[in-house]
């Protein structure tokens, strides 16, 4: 299967399919005429006497130095090799592929001045399993993601390192195995490849895709916890959420009502329950996770726009043949979006962890055994699983501190304000991994609690969730080696197994 991207119109579903899959990716052929017109304008400028930044000049603080036309190819090659200064562990292959697809989209806007050959080799690499090795550290999120994108471009010209079907080798060898020929860069082409926000945006989108799936899983596990704790469903009534009006809150309450519909456990304590109100972690789940959904939806809109944006510099305005220097490479929108995703992830985990703590505490769980073990004392049950969830919750709180408020001048003060979008987006991977464990531990505790209410049973919808969960993670009797259970539960939270019919649209 091939995913065809139309510049300016790619949607989140396409981008997520690229990230989660391994399909070939191509530009809509209708983009080619505009690309070639812009390339012609740049080619003409490279032969002229008027200095045009990045076409016949040096870069950054060296922009005042005029470069002869005969040195065009050398200028662009040197730019790529000198900017390959990334360090740290390699970016995941699927996120690198998404980054490459985003660069295709940006070049497809017909304002970057590259030849079609540049787009074609990116398409060829995506189709044949050539994925550059991208060191994950080194970008400050303006003047584009220079170092990471330079490592991508280096492979395109036969340098650097690459994975070929998952095996690491030299970029030249990977291209040869795939039957691809390295490109020789023309005027501005190296600059067009490394200027841009595609590294930051790909990482932010990766965080968004997993955060959204985990937010939905948390709606399911919170419903399970509500039944396990014999909580009230009155706070889920549609009327009170309509009175506030926030769409995420309305959506979460509706989803939870559907998930809890028909619970025998719930029906058993409608009368005679001496409790007046549940703790906030049960009662305010729509308000908290609903707010997180709204924040994620806002970030999603920002990132979809950015995914379709042309973000290099200078840009070609083909309607009048001008080449204009600007600042679209500044990743401030992505930095803000990444910080918003981080806040949402942290809060989803924070309220989930409080439900875990409630379920293992016999003073709060309305009759469940201590730490959810059938034989407390001899067995510790889920005591330390709760502690692990608390550790990860606290770690995510620290990681959620904003990155976008930081800046430092670089490049001899030419680039004197930067976005820090790159590490703001990169930290989301660690945060969603932490959240997957927290939500997974909640599923462990809630399933154990629901089963402890037997012969009373939960709703049909949650019974189906429990069945899927128990196929992988067995009920806890005597104490056992717990680490594999936590790992398996986290995977079920992250891979969508827990969701069932609880599917909330990322577009409100």
Residue carrying structure tokens 């095996």: 167
Q: Tell me if residue 136 falls in helix, strand or coil.
A: strand
CB-CB neighbours of 322 under 10 Å: 13
Residues 6+ apart with CB under 8 A from 156: 118, 121, 122, 125, 171, 182, 183, 193
- The C-alpha angle with vertex 402 and arms to 399 and 406, in degrees rounded to 5, equals 120
DSSP assignment of 77-111 equals HHHHHHT---EEEEPPHHHHHHHHHHHHHHHTTS-
Q: Say what angle helices 93-107 and 12-20 make with each other, to 10 degrees.
A: 140
Q: Tell me if residue 52 falls in helix, strand or coil.
A: coil
Please answer whether residues 114 and 189 qualify as being in contact, where contact means their C-beta atoms are separated by less than 8 angstroms.
Answer: yes
Nearest to 493 by CA among 92, 124, 155, 214: 214
Residue 399 to residue 416: CA distance in whole angstroms: 25
Dihedral (C-alpha) 183, 186, 190, 195: value to the nearest 10 degrees?
-130
Nearest to 443 by CA among 506, 375, 370, 495: 495
Choice among 26, 52, 53, 159 that is catalytic:
53
Give catalytic status of residue 164 as yes or no: no
- Token pair, residue 55, equals 């076409």
Please answer whether residues 100 and 196 qualify as being in contact, where contact means their C-beta atoms are separated by less than 8 angstroms.
Answer: no
Please answer whether residues 393 and 349 qualify as being in contact, where contact means their C-beta atoms are separated by less than 8 angstroms.
Answer: yes
Active site residues: 53
């Amino acid at each position: 299967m091939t995913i065809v991207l139309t510049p300016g119109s790619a949607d989140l579903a396409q981008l997520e399919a690229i990230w989660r899959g391994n399909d070939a990716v191509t530009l809509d052929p209708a983009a080619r005429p505009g690309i070639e017109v812009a390339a012609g304008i740049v080619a003409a400028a490279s032969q002229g006497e008027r200095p045009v930044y990045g076409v016949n000049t040096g870069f950054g603080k060296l922009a005042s130095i005029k470069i002869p036309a005969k040195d065009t190819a050398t200028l662009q090659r040197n730019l790529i090799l000198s900017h390959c200064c990334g360090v740290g562990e390699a970016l995941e292959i699927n996120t690198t592929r998404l980054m490459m697809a985003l660069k295709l989209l940006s070049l497809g806007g017909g304002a970057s001045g590259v030849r079609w050959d540049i787009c074609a080799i990116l398409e060829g690499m995506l189709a044949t399993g050539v994925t550059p090795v991208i060191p994950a550290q080194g970008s400050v999120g303006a003047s584009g993601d220079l170092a990471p994108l330079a490592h991508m471009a280096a492979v395109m010209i036969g340098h650097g390192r690459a994975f070929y079907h998952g095996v690491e080798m030299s970029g030249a060898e990977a291209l040869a195995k795939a039957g691809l020929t390295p490109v020789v860069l023309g005027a501005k082409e190296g600059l067009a490849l490394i200027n841009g926000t595609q590294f930051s945006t790909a990482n932010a989108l990766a965080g968004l895709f997993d955060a959204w799936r985990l937010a939905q899983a948390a709606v399911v596990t919170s419903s399970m916890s509500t039944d396990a704790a014999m909580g009230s469903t009155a706070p889920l009534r549609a009327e009170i959420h309509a009175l506030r009006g926030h769409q995420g809150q309305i959506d979460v309450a509706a989803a939870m009502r559907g998930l809890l519909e028909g619970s025998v456990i719930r029906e058993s304590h409608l009368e005679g329950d001496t409790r007046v109100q549940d703790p906030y972690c049960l009662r305010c789940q729509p308000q908290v996770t609903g707010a997180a959904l709204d924040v994620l939806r806002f970030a999603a809109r920002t990132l979809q726009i950015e995914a379709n944006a042309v973000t290099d510099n200078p840009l070609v305005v083909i309607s009048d043949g001008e080449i204009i220097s600007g600042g679209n490479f500044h990743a401030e929108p992505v930095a803000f979006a990444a910080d918003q995703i981080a806040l949402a992830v942290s809060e989803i985990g924070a309220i989930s962890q409080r439900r875990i703590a409630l379920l293992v505490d016999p003073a709060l769980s309305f009759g469940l055994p201590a730490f959810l073990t059938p034989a407390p004392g001899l067995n510790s049950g889920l005591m330390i699983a709760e502690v692990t969830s608390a550790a990860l919750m606290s770690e995510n709180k620290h990681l959620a501190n904003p990155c976008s408020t930081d800046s430092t001048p670089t490049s001899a003060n030419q680039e004197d304000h930067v976005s820090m979008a790159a590490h703001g987006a990169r930290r989301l991977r660690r945060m969603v991994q932490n959240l997957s464990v927290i939500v997974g531990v909640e599923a462990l505790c809630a399933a154990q609690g629901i089963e402890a209410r037997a012969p009373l049973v939960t709703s049909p919808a949650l019974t189906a969730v429990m069945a899927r969960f128990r196929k992988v993670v067995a009920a806890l009797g005597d104490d056992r080696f717990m680490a594999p259970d936590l790992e398996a539960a986290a995977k079920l939270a992250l891979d969508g197994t827990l969701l069932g019919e609880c599917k909330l649209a990322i577009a409100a």
